[in-house]
Amino acid sequence: MFHHVALEVRSDQVAGDSRFWELAGFARVMVPEALGPGFTWFESGGAQIHLVHTDDPMVPANGHVAVAAPDFEQTVARLEDEGFEVREGRKLWGARRAKVTCPSGHQVELIEGPPPGSDDPDRRR
């Protein structure tokens, strides 16, 4: 099971990325004190996004994080209302998908619902 993804973010982009993840439906959660400063964490449905504060972040050109947004239309509306450009993609497995870039430059894919499980024969084709 997926637990978290860590995204490197410049310190001056943490506030913008934090707002982005809140708009995407994630709630801020406590970071263990043992890790010290330099991290900001968010969680939704047991999956976490860890923002790692760094002076020289790596932002992959083609990589992205995909998150389920069951309230897809409301999530898209919240992001667009805050000025984010949300680009609708093709439906897969009957679910809407869209891509958006968070303030730190990371690509995020919003999906209306997760694909069927690996036990679904249509998915194995």
Give domain limits for the chain.
4-124
Q: What is the pLDDT of residues 15-31, one digit of tens each?
A: 999 999 999 999 999 99
Give the list of residues 6+ apart from residue 60 with CB closer than 8 angstroms, or none. 106
Q: What is the pLDDT of residue 16?
A: 97
Residues 63 and 51: beta-carbon distance below 8 Å: no
Confidence of residue 2 (pLDDT cuts 50, 70, 90): confident
CATH of 4-124, picked from 3.40.50.620, 3.40.50.720, 3.10.180.10, 3.40.50.920, is 3.10.180.10
Residues 44 and 2: beta-carbon distance below 8 Å: no
Q: What is the pLDDT of residue 118?
A: 55
Confidence of residue 115 (pLDDT cuts 50, 70, 90): confident
| Distance between CA atoms of residues 59 and 26, nearest Å | 21
Positive or negative: CA dihedral 43, 85, 64, 109:
positive
pTM listed for this prediction: 0.87
